[in-house]
């Protein structure tokens, strides 16, 4: 039996209070126990740590982990690793330049994809990733966790590169996708937001 696809996740520090235990690990563990994914999870709090883990991920040893999951706070065109460390998408693209062919990138970060079309097109062109998706709004943790479960499963097991968009445009998930400001961008294509207009067509393909 073939092994399930892989997710490489880097998670930032969600809160200054070290006693709090908020994490995306339960979502990853749930999907792993269901047999739908394998995952590697690493905590990161500084740009140096993030750079190191991304560099390791993009070696041939981890080529089976085709989905990159950035579980970080965010703002337009930027992610926040902690209360004192942030990194621009442009800088991350430079670290991964030319090394992400075939990879699918997911930013589980508030507003990180509220970026200009040219910024996201340049990000994909430099990294060579096949697609990037994430949020354009400030998001609620519980709501995003529910959405994240189906998005990660579809990113790993959906087959076609546009399978996540089809899911986000389906009748079942489109209201939540729109509420969260979910955005999908493909390499070599114009950035777009899912819409309800093609939901019947999308449902037929799901």
- Residue partners of 89: CB distance under 8 A and separation at least 6: 77, 78, 79, 112, 115, 119, 120, 123
Across the range 151-161, mean pLDDT stands at: 89
Task: Read off the pLDDT band of 201 (50, 70, 90).
Answer: very low
pLDDT at 180: 94
Domain range for 24 is: 6-161+181-193
Calculate what percentage of the chain has a pLDDT beyond 70.
87
Strand-strand pairing, 182-186 and 86-88: unpaired
pLDDT band per the 50, 70, 90 thresholds, residue 142: confident
Domain for residue 138, yes or no? yes
Longest CA–CA span in the chain (Å) reads 47
pLDDT at 16 over 60: no
Mean pLDDT of the chain: 88
Residue 174 included in any domain? no
pLDDT category at 198 given cuts 50, 70, 90 is very low
What is d(CA 144, CA 151) in angstroms, rounded to the nearest whole number?
A: 10
pTM exceeds 0.85 for this model: yes
198: in domain: no
* Residue 92 falls inside a structural domain: yes
Q: Assess if residue 154 is contained within a domain.
A: yes
Give the mean model confidence (pLDDT) for residues 39-50: 96
Residue 43 lies in a domain: yes
Instruction: Point out which residues pair with 135 in neighbouring strands.
Output: 182
Number of domains in the chain: 1
Residue 126 has pLDDT above 50, yes or no: yes
Confidence (pLDDT) at 15: 62
Residue 167: inside a domain: no
The CATH number for 188's domain is 3.40.50
pLDDT above 90: residue 13:
no
Q: Give 16 or 114, the one with higher predicted confidence.
A: 114
Six token digits for residue 88: 């621009």
Q: Is residue 166 part of a domain?
A: no
């Amino acid at each position: 039996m073939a092994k399930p696809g892989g997710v490489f996740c880097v998670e930032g520090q969600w809160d200054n209070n070290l006693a709090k235990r908020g994490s995306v690990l339960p979502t990853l563990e749930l999907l792993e126990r269901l047999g739908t994914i394998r995952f590697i999870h690493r905590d990161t709090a500084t740009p140096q740590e993030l750079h190191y883990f991304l560099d390791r991920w993009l070696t041939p040893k981890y080529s089976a982990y085709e989905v990159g999951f950035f579980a970080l706070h965010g703002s337009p065109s930027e992610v926040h690793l902690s209360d004192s460390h942030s990194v621009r998408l442009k800088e991350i693209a430079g670290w991964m330049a030319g090394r992400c062919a075939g990879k699918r990138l997911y930013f589980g970060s508030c507003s990180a994809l509220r970026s200009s079309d040219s910024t996201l097109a340049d990000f994909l062109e430099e990294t060579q990733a096949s697609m990037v998706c994430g949020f354009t709004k400030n998001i609620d943790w519980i709501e995003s966790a529910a959405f994240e479960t189906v998005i990660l499963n579809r990113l790993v097991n959906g087959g076609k590169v546009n399978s996540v968009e089809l899911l986000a445009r389906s009748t079942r998930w489109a209201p939540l996708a729109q509420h969260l400001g979910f955005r999908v961008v493909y390499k070599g294509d114009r950035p777009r937001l899912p819409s309800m207009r093609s939901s019947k067509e999308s449902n037929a393909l799901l």
